[in-house]
Chains A and B, each alone.
Chain A
Amino acid sequence: MAKAAIADRSVKEFEEKQEWWWAAEKKRSSRLDYLRKAIWKKGAIGGLYAPGVKVDLERPVLQTQKARALEFSPDPYVIKFAKMIAHILDNKTIFITDNAQLVGYTGSLPHTIAWDPSLGSFLNEEVYNDPTAIPDPAEKSQQIIRDVNNYWIGKSDLDKMIPVFDMEDLGKMLSGSIGWGVPIARGGYSSKDYEYIMTGKRAYQAIIDELNQKIDEADEQTHAPGATTETSKIYDKINNWEAMKITLEAGIRVAKRYARLARIIAEHFEEDSNRREELLRVAESCEQVPAYPPRTLQESFQYDIFIQMMSRTEAVEGAWPARPDYYHGPYYDKDVNIKKNLTKEEAIDLVGEFLIRAAEVCQFKPKFAREGLQGIDGTWVWTIGGVDKEGRDACNDLTVALMQAARLVRVANPTFGFRWHPRVKDEVMREIFECLRQGLGYPNIRHDPVLIANSMHWYGHPIEEARLWCNQACLSPCPPTKHGFQPMRMANATANCAKIIEYVMTGGYDPVVNMQVGAETGDVTSFTDFEQFFEAWTTQMKTIFSILVRAVNRARTLAPNLTPRPFLSAISERSIESGMDTLTPSLERGNAWVTAFTWVENIDSLAAVKKLVFEDKKYTMAELKNALEKNWEGHEQMRLDFVKNAPKWGNDDDYVDDIMVRCLKTAAKFSKELKCPSGNNWPILPENVSGNIHYANIVGALPNGRRLGDALYDGGISPGPGLDKKGPTAVLKSCGKINHITDGRAFLLNQRLSPTQLAGEKGYQLWRAYMRTWADLELDHIQFNVVDDSTLRAAQKDPEKYQEVIVRVAGYSAHFVDISRKTQDNIIQRTVQGL
């Protein structure tokens, strides 16, 4: 919309028309408006990076330069790697954006995407082959990329891992049919020991002092008279501690570089006295953190940004586990309520900028990852609300400020997961609702008592730790504690579950990738009853999960030596204490899970086969097999029968709901047989991100009537689009038949509500009543799209006018115009529930 048109209309007019994005633009401060518009959109549009966004070649060159220099040094790998991190931080280009009060970015310039060349040489080839993101002049850039890529062949993490994997499993996994991602310990979802590093008790310098003491004591031990079996382990510990120290010292140095730049701008360039003062505050802030604990809200946010920037220099992190109101809330309280250093408006500016700093973070991802996470770089699902260690309501003024700032800056990433519990105050619920009503698609709502019990059930986390949970990725709670936090959850333990039912029909042969991937469960036409069919389903489920889990287990076991993480270790109490890398499985309680993409297709398919083939005997198995092999072509009437006349999940129909529960309980039982390297369980977590679109051309025709190429269902336990015909309560009742504590890790449920119905106080009361039913049925999760069809269709027709419309895709939100047409259509097809 033209600037004049926005200026001529009032906030009220925009709000009445539910054009929340224009209302937000008018309501936010000039600083927030500038910073919001300054963001380079990093999430891939469909699967491609946006025009103007380029791969950052500075970091790969610096890292390769240092790796070459260290190649023949006597240092152990962990120290060499720490030196590479330090070299990058000491030499990278840094920048400070006009009006910014917070600084720090993973790349060298605002429009760049950070690229870590040491992860996998075959991933590096994707950079070379992605002409849209290669900086100009292309020929020179390609020469640099070739040089970098050539160096890392045989030396990257994945190159080191591949020869020690089970090659058969690896081949099946890399076929792209059943898994998503690669098993490397520096690429995935990295939780953190926030209880150690974010509680204001210590920061980098205090840890360095402790490390020095540890190193001195250990050194003394190794030189005292005598030698035991423990002595050689001490040398390894010293190396790890040294590496941790190198990264922390580099972290302090890079912060000082920001401080120096802020002072140079203030003293030599800036003419505005207010801005000069701000820059000097930025400088003071960067001189304080991360060396010393924060003193103010600004320093607290700055500290967090530096930690995240460093962690993302060390690894490619596809998620952002965080609990901002819990850890930054005390600083908000101190500055706004106690000392009154900040007005609420000034605090909102800082909170909004904190969201913006997170929104711009980006690291190069291969195309399959971009397609599965259309519109965003990773799932920054920040956790808010919930309870404290003692079980008291942990919502605070920052919980509210985060919601208010979110409505002003309207970024698609980070989003929020709100931990609901029975003692949440109405004023907080109203803030949550307002975000939903204004179409952000977030926060999603999580049932805190259920999820605390779930964490204790699956992993034995003690209640005081379980109560501190934050999302490790989209949905999986993880305690940010000494032994509770999981340093890396590898995305490849993500099963494309629609293949389970497909392989039952094909005897494990995958017709799309032309190889035997699943188990050889025999010719399906020879099955004489549903129990035989279900047994084959169970075998295929176990086979797929096992292939993925074995690879992750292997990678996690090898990671401490082959692919260590000295910085993450340096901010982990268990590593400081033990001298072992934080990836060491014995230090962790275990918090593994198998993400179950495309799960519900199994349920509707099993119900259709049971009803139409084995019970009604309307079709033979041979006829069904034949129709699926032909992708239902020439069998449209039969296909419609399987779509319309078989029971469908989400209608409070016990026939199919019992099958869902049986499948989940079968998987849950097997989850306890699968063990992670820490010795704990592998429960499943049905959800999809936009995997339902990514896999559309990889999953063949299915007995629920789906054809190859059709979008798969959108949510973990969401009914198929348009197939939930009995209303919103029936959906909740179906989902309520699942035990959300013992049947799996978490269960994603998408719902669409009408914005018209949610208008005004009446709308809020309707939603609260609906949420009471949701809570009473003890569902662990629910999220909402509150955007009407007409807006979405108008956005398809005229995307330029609707750049800021946000939708909930699955475990995350995205700007509607940034997702593929197929995903857009899939969202529009979701049933709009009338409350």
Chain B
Amino acid sequence: MTTCKDCKRFFPLEDNPEKGDCVERIVDPRQAYYKSKPVNAGNDAVSCSSFQKK
């Protein structure tokens, strides 16, 4: 199964690699920014539209 830890956007925590952040660059009509959301390394990423294989 494809999981978050297989994704380029996943940045594991140093002290707990099973958890991390999904970091993504967004360009909306007014500004560009990076967003971050906590995720588990083992989360199912099969249906994730942002998934990018490492």
Q: A37-B30, A40-B30, A97-B32 are in contact. Are A260 and B38 (CB under 8 A)?
A: no
Count of inter-chain pairs, beta carbons less than 8 A: 60
- Chain A nearest CB, measured from B28 CB (Å): 6
Which A residues touch B30, using CB under 8 A?
37-40, 110-111
The reply to whether B28 and A261 form a contact with Cβ atoms under 8 Å apart is: no
> Does residue A269 face the partner (Cβ distance < 8 Å to B)?
yes
- Chain A nearest CB, measured from B9 CB (Å): 10
Report Cα–Cα, A91/B36, bound state, in Å: 10
Q: A261-B21, A261-B23, A264-B11 are in contact. Are A96 and B34 (CB under 8 A)?
A: yes
The reply to whether B23 and A109 form a contact with Cβ atoms under 8 Å apart is: no
Which A residues touch B25, using CB under 8 A?
269
Q: A264-B21, A264-B23 are in contact. Are A111 and B36 (CB under 8 A)?
A: no
Report Cα–Cα, A623/B36, bound state, in Å: 69
Report Cα–Cα, A110/B34, bound state, in Å: 11
Report Cα–Cα, A260/B34, bound state, in Å: 12
- Chain B nearest CB, measured from A620 CB (Å): 61
Interface of chain B residues 9 through 30 with chain A (CB within 8 A)? 11, 21, 23, 25-26, 28-30
> Does residue B47 face the partner (Cβ distance < 8 Å to A)?
no
Report Cα–Cα, A202/B23, bound state, in Å: 33
> Does residue A95 face the partner (Cβ distance < 8 Å to B)?
yes
Q: A110-B28, A111-B28, A260-B21 are in contact. Are A265 and B35 (CB under 8 A)?
A: no
- Chain A nearest CB, measured from B32 CB (Å): 5
> Does residue B49 face the partner (Cβ distance < 8 Å to A)?
no
Residue of A nearest to B32 (CB): A98
Report Cα–Cα, A384/B19, bound state, in Å: 45
The reply to whether B34 and A90 form a contact with Cβ atoms under 8 Å apart is: no
Q: A260-B21, A261-B21, A269-B25 are in contact. Are A38 and B31 (CB under 8 A)?
A: yes
> Does residue A52 face the partner (Cβ distance < 8 Å to B)?
yes
Report Cα–Cα, A37/B28, bound state, in Å: 12
> Does residue B37 face the partner (Cβ distance < 8 Å to A)?
yes
The reply to whether A95 and B32 form a contact with Cβ atoms under 8 Å apart is: no
The reply to whether B38 and A97 form a contact with Cβ atoms under 8 Å apart is: no
Which A residues touch B33, using CB under 8 A?
95-98, 110
Report Cα–Cα, A110/B26, bound state, in Å: 11
Which B residues touch A261, using CB under 8 A?
21, 23, 34, 36
| Binary B-proximity of A104-129 (CB < 8 A = 1, otherwise 0) | 00001111000000000000000000
B interface secondary structure, majority:
strand
Report Cα–Cα, A39/B34, bound state, in Å: 16
- Chain A nearest CB, measured from B22 CB (Å): 9
Which B residues touch A34, using CB under 8 A?
31
> Does residue A94 face the partner (Cβ distance < 8 Å to B)?
yes
Contact with B36, one of A37, A38, A264 (Cβ below 8 angstroms): A264
- Chain B nearest CB, measured from A554 CB (Å): 40
Report Cα–Cα, A485/B34, bound state, in Å: 38
> Does residue A645 face the partner (Cβ distance < 8 Å to B)?
no
The reply to whether A94 and B36 form a contact with Cβ atoms under 8 Å apart is: yes
Report Cα–Cα, A38/B27, bound state, in Å: 11
- Chain B nearest CB, measured from A205 CB (Å): 19
Which A residues touch B31, using CB under 8 A?
34, 37-38, 97-98, 110
- Chain B nearest CB, measured from A99 CB (Å): 9
- Chain B nearest CB, measured from A309 CB (Å): 15
Which A residues touch B28, using CB under 8 A?
109-111
- Chain A nearest CB, measured from B54 CB (Å): 12
Report Cα–Cα, A682/B30, bound state, in Å: 45
Report Cα–Cα, A52/B30, bound state, in Å: 10
- Chain A nearest CB, measured from B42 CB (Å): 17
> Does residue A589 face the partner (Cβ distance < 8 Å to B)?
no
- Chain B nearest CB, measured from A803 CB (Å): 13
Which A residues touch B38, using CB under 8 A?
90-91, 257
- Chain A nearest CB, measured from B40 CB (Å): 11
Report Cα–Cα, A37/B37, bound state, in Å: 25
- Chain B nearest CB, measured from A351 CB (Å): 20
> Does residue A578 face the partner (Cβ distance < 8 Å to B)?
no
> Does residue A93 face the partner (Cβ distance < 8 Å to B)?
yes
Q: A260-B21, A264-B23 are in contact. Are A269 and B34 (CB under 8 A)?
A: yes
- Chain A nearest CB, measured from B11 CB (Å): 5
Which A residues touch B32, using CB under 8 A?
97-98
Which B residues touch A39, using CB under 8 A?
30
Report Cα–Cα, A138/B29, bound state, in Å: 20
Which A residues touch B36, using CB under 8 A?
93-95, 257, 260-261, 264
Closest 6 CB pairs of A and B: A38-B31, A95-B35, A261-B36, A97-B33, A95-B33, A93-B37
Q: What are 7 pairs between A and B in contact, CB < 8 Å? A: A91-B37, A93-B36, A96-B33, A110-B28, A111-B30, A257-B21, A264-B34
